[in-house]
Structure 1
């Protein structure tokens, strides 16, 4: 069964018809959908799946509390070290979803460090992501590191610098390059 990791920017809390059509395609194919519990895109996609009466969904939550589960679906509680807080606390669940998914579907406003970090997490596992890039209102398929770099180049350089610092982008890029080299060695 195909598993898709849905995520996105907290600033994006409405789904347009093109986003809904992509989600409908996943529903029609009975994909297992993994989604986080954050406000914004996570909650909007949860609500759409609830309204669609779709049940093949698992909600991932960090720590002991699930912030949103609009469909009352099964929950996967991800253990997080109690010393972590903020972004680091919630990144643990995103990493687990990236590891378990076959693909990613990300709604990105061109500013959110968490949403683009999920794409880099998927790339570490050589997995594709389809990104809805809201500034252009277009979808982009990210299969390789260069695809992600091309998308980042469409963003404000100051924003990219901030994202780079928040998610330790040089380290993520090095991890992706190592994973790609490992796959080449196995071929």
Structure 2
């Protein structure tokens, strides 16, 4: 935070709101919210918002995949909080056309 790095976040509920909640609590301003609808579902710090439209006819995971890829494309580094169940974060790192950086590490937390 002291280096004032930009932090891209998703607008989803659940675990996706934990990091934005922390950043908003600290009054951190260098955050942008990526969303796929007309307005972000969650923008806890009234930050800049970027609408990334899903491809025509997209359903389920594909609705969010374009948004996730654009976030990864713009990021210099990233942190994914993932339960290991949903396909989204894994495909960003390992799938065809993934946005995986030259160096990455994956951990699976079990609790």
Compute the TM-score of the two structures, normalised by the length of structure 2.
0.83
1:108-119 equivalences under 5 Å are 108-119=82-93
Is the partner of 1:34 in helix, strand or coil? strand
> Which runs of no fewer than 5 residues in structure 2 stay unpaired?
none
Output the CA distance in 2 between the equivalents of 1:69 and 1:38. Answer: 9
User: Is the CA contact (8 Å cut-off) linking 2:11 and 2:43 kept in structure 1?
Assistant: yes
Q: Which residue of 1 aligns with 2:99?
A: 122
RMSD between aligned alpha carbons? 1.9
The count of corresponding residues between Structure 1 and Structure 2 is 108
TM-superposed deviation, 1:127? 4.2
After superposition, the Cα gap between the structure-2 partners of 1:57 and 1:32, relative to the gap in structure 1 and judged at 3 Å, is same
After superposition, the Cα gap between the structure-2 partners of 1:58 and 1:129, relative to the gap in structure 1 and judged at 3 Å, is farther
> Which runs of no fewer than 5 residues in structure 1 stay unpaired?
1-26, 137-187
Output the CA distance in 1 between the equivalents of 2:14 and 2:107. Answer: 14
**Structure whose alpha-carbon radius of gyration is higher:** 1
Is the partner of 2:92 in helix, strand or coil? helix
Compute the TM-score of the two structures, normalised by the length of structure 1.
0.52
Q: Which residue of 2 aligns with 1:42?
A: 16
Which of 131, 135, 153 is matched with 2:110 structurally? 135
After superposition, the Cα gap between the structure-2 partners of 1:97 and 1:55, relative to the gap in structure 1 and judged at 3 Å, is same
Is the partner of 1:42 in helix, strand or coil? helix
More helix by share: 1
